[in-house]
Amino acid sequence: MEEQTVVLIVGAGPAGLATAACLTKLSIPYVIVEREDCSASLWRNRAYDRLKLHLAKEFCELPHMSYPADAPTYIPKDQFLKYLDNYIEHFDIQPKYRTAIESCTYDEGRKCWFSVARDMATSVVVRYTTMFLIVASGENSAANIPVIPGLHDFAGEVIHSSKFKSGAAYSGKNVLVVGCGNSGMEIAYDLASHGADTSIVVRSLVHVMTKEIIRLGMTLVQHIPVNAVDDLLVRLANFVFGDLSRHGIVRPKTGPLQLKAETGRSAVIDVGTVGLIKKGIIKVLGNISKIKGNIVEFESGKESAFDVIVFATGYKSTANTWLKNGESMLNNAGLPKKDFPDHWKGANGLYCAGLARRGLAGIAIDAKNIANDIWSSYHV
């Protein structure tokens, strides 16, 4: 099957949907393909039950549609999915589900993108010829598990956070959570709350904040220099939590908002984990050196037995496996070469949405920029 259109969007997560909506507003024809059988599969299928958006709703809207007036400040997972379903319906977005992109190549002679996709249900190959190509497949498309000597032979259960739903299944078990980002800290809290004997590996420097402190910071930074805002946020967090370094949690020198801007690393929004760490209910451990059977050995020399290891060690982009001429825009890790806010555009009508590690607010900015840029060249 052959199909011609103006734009091909790869991925029907929030980034793909936002870009589709912005193209619709400008009456630009597009096709959107998605390898899973639903939109926003990370949110629907790979997010734990207790998840809420960590940022206030005003920082989490997609373009051209607000949350309902009665929506809570911090949106729970099911309400966010309902918002996405309403968004799809409102903009009449019709993703082609279970359609896997196999390759996208730029044809210099014809000045167009030639994309090969496969219908995963029928194995029929579809070829798309488009002027523009948008990579919206996400920075979270494949689970990332670090290489640890002996992990392969670990005697217990190993899961990635994308498969974790609730701590209820692990009551009474010794569980080690690896990774101290928002997922790791919240999963540790959930496990401990359900009666698991919980430990967490904190491998890096981390800012711990409350959601209210971060909301204040994101509001103030629109009017005040970031270093002054960061200074205030760190003072507030120290007032709330005290010195966490004696519990194994050390703050980076760079402030939380500046660190997010420079590296994409978010502050941890505490959901109660810190209180359990202070009480000794959740134990903080350092780096793992190796695993023998069900015994995990740490760099400090300490050894402990575990029934389960949960890796909350993030994801990686898979765009480079199918994008054959993306070197103008993406690095070897499948993420943008250029820093925000100049990351979203490559050469020859190639764009990316949602790869700048700027959350839903960054997705909204990308989607508008891309649609406006396509409109300006499409209407020449």
Taking each helix axis from N to C terminus, what angle separates 226-241 and 211-220, rounded to the nearest 10 degrees?
A: 160
DSSP letter for each residue of 239-306: HHH---GGGT----SS-HHHHHHHH-PPPEE-SSHHHHHHTTSEEEE--EEEEETTEEEETTS-EEE-
CA 11 to mean position of chain CA atoms? 14
| Whether residue 92 is found in the same domain as residue 223 | no
| Whether residue 153 is found in the same domain as residue 122 | no
| Whether residue 165 is found in the same domain as residue 136 | no
| Whether residue 135 is found in the same domain as residue 168 | no
What CA–CA distances, in Å, run from 291 to 154, 296, 305, 306, 358? Answer: 7, 5, 10, 10, 35
How far is 344 from 360, CA to CA, in rounded Å? Answer: 15
Q: Total structural domains in the chain?
A: 2
Residue 379, SS3 per DSSP: coil
| Whether residue 133 is found in the same domain as residue 147 | no
| Whether residue 126 is found in the same domain as residue 162 | no
How far is 226 from 231, CA to CA, in rounded Å? Answer: 9
| Whether residue 263 is found in the same domain as residue 293 | yes
Q: Hey, which residues does 100 pair with through a beta bridge?
A: 118
* Angle (CA) 88 89 94, round 5°: 60
How far is 6 from 27, CA to CA, in rounded Å? Answer: 11
pLDDT tens-place string over residues 81-110 = 999 999 999 999 999 999 999 999 999 999
| Whether residue 187 is found in the same domain as residue 244 | yes
Closest C-alpha among 244, 142, 252, 149 to residue 200:
244
How far is 127 from 220, CA to CA, in rounded Å? Answer: 48
| Whether residue 202 is found in the same domain as residue 70 | no
| Whether residue 147 is found in the same domain as residue 276 | yes
Q: Which of 263, 284, 311 lies at the terminal end of a domain, its last residue?
A: 311
pLDDT (tens, 9 = 90+) of the chain, 380 residues, equals 899 999 999 999 999 999 999 999 999 999 999 999 999 998 888 777 778 888 899 999 999 999 999 999 999 999 999 999 999 999 999 999 999 999 999 999 999 999 999 999 999 999 999 999 999 998 766 788 999 999 999 999 999 998 899 999 999 999 999 999 999 999 999 999 999 999 999 989 999 999 999 999 999 999 999 999 999 999 999 999 999 999 999 999 999 999 998 888 899 999 999 999 999 999 999 999 999 999 999 999 999 999 999 999 988 888 888 999 889 999 988 889 998 889 999 999 999 999 988 889 999 999 999 999 999 997 75
CATH of the domain at 165: 3.50.50.60
Domain that holds residue 273: 143-311
| Whether residue 334 is found in the same domain as residue 375 | yes
Closest C-alpha among 45, 50, 28, 26 to residue 272:
50
Q: Which of 295, 311, 327 lies at the terminal end of a domain, its last residue?
A: 311
Q: Which of 311, 335, 357 lies at the terminal end of a domain, its last residue?
A: 311
For residue 319, give the amino acid letter. A
Q: Provide the terminal-to-terminal Cα distance of the chain, rounded to the nearest Å.
A: 30
* Residue 142 token pair: 């494949």
Query: What is the pTM for the complete model shown?
Result: 0.85
| Whether residue 284 is found in the same domain as residue 339 | no
For residue 338, give the amino acid letter. K
Taking each helix axis from N to C terminus, what angle separates 256-263 and 211-220, rounded to the nearest 10 degrees?
A: 70
| pLDDT recorded at residue 12 | 96
